[in-house]
Chains A and B, each alone.
Chain A
Amino acid sequence: MTEPRLDSQELREFETQVAEAFNHGRIRAPVHLYDGNEDQILKVFQNVNEDDWIFCSWRSHYQCLLKGVPRDLVFAEILAGNSISLTFPKYRVYSSAIVGGVLPIATGVALGLKKQGKSEHVWCFVGDMTSETGIAHESIKYAETFDLPITFVVEDNNHSVVTNTRETWGLRTLTYELANESSKVIYYSYSSRYPHAGAGQRINF
């Protein structure tokens, strides 16, 4: 277990810095910002070890920072336009900007680790709409039945871009919302001050 490298306030300050850079037209690519989930994600990272693997979607700044990627390096990659698919192999952080794209890949890494008898663990972060996709259900089912060393973290902000996940699936609760502690799934919900993409201002480049 590693000590958190940043606290809630520092995480929020980083995203504020990115938001300001975006709103001033310094980033010529999409950014997807976190906000309001700092305590929950810090709690998850209390169990993440240095050798563990992290898989993310297009929203991954907090995971990069908490896995130990230097703040300046993360920011430089964001300025370079790589926010939606940040990858830092040295720190075992990988991302994909395709919905559900990383789930089977993360599952495959976990399968490989188990076959090799390694003690490393895989952490795969997904949003609420992604958690309802077929590939999510297949990946989680396979990981659970073969007891793979992986944890899926469902981060529920209740929206996919602007679409309400529960309404469009006709669900009162998400499939993994009531995941118990013995499951391979951790669930938490949060509300963000930021929109799905960007930082809330219309930019004229």
Chain B
Amino acid sequence: MSAAQGSATRVETKAEGGTPQRVPSVPLGRLGAVLETIGAGMILAMMVVTSIDVVGRYFFSKPLWGGFEMTEILMGLVVFAGMPIATARREHISIDLFEAYLGLRTRSWQASFGDLVCALIAGAVAWRMWLRGQALLDVGETTMQLGVPRGLVACTMAVLMAVAACVFVAAAYVALRAARRGAQA
């Protein structure tokens, strides 16, 4: 249940001597910082929207106009904005039964392979989400009050998923380099 439960603390496995024994993460630089800020901003916005909505409804019997849809749109965007950064930091949940018994080199090879598999899956999902978004745009489906085209949101989510697929390719490369470096050492 590693990440799933919302740990506030990153768990670092340390080998003797205190050197980190993790497969390296992907340095996303400016892109990572931008996505983190956008993701965090949307999370905080969701919190504020829900609170105003509840207070408005309960005390003034007037819910926030479009609040429901704002939350829906923010939800879709936040999940997929988080995808590339979770990928870069290797925070996707996996089962590492044998991790303790494998060396960094073996785990790096393994991670590299897993990253490539995930890149393909994420790419396929992004492609199908894009088509789904296009279909929604064709029908012209919009949200009830704000009139935001749902297809536009879905396409944005698809693009973010495609970015995540690219990050997986980068992650495979980074892991591969770590594996080869391990071989030389």
User: Are A and B interaction partners?
Assistant: no
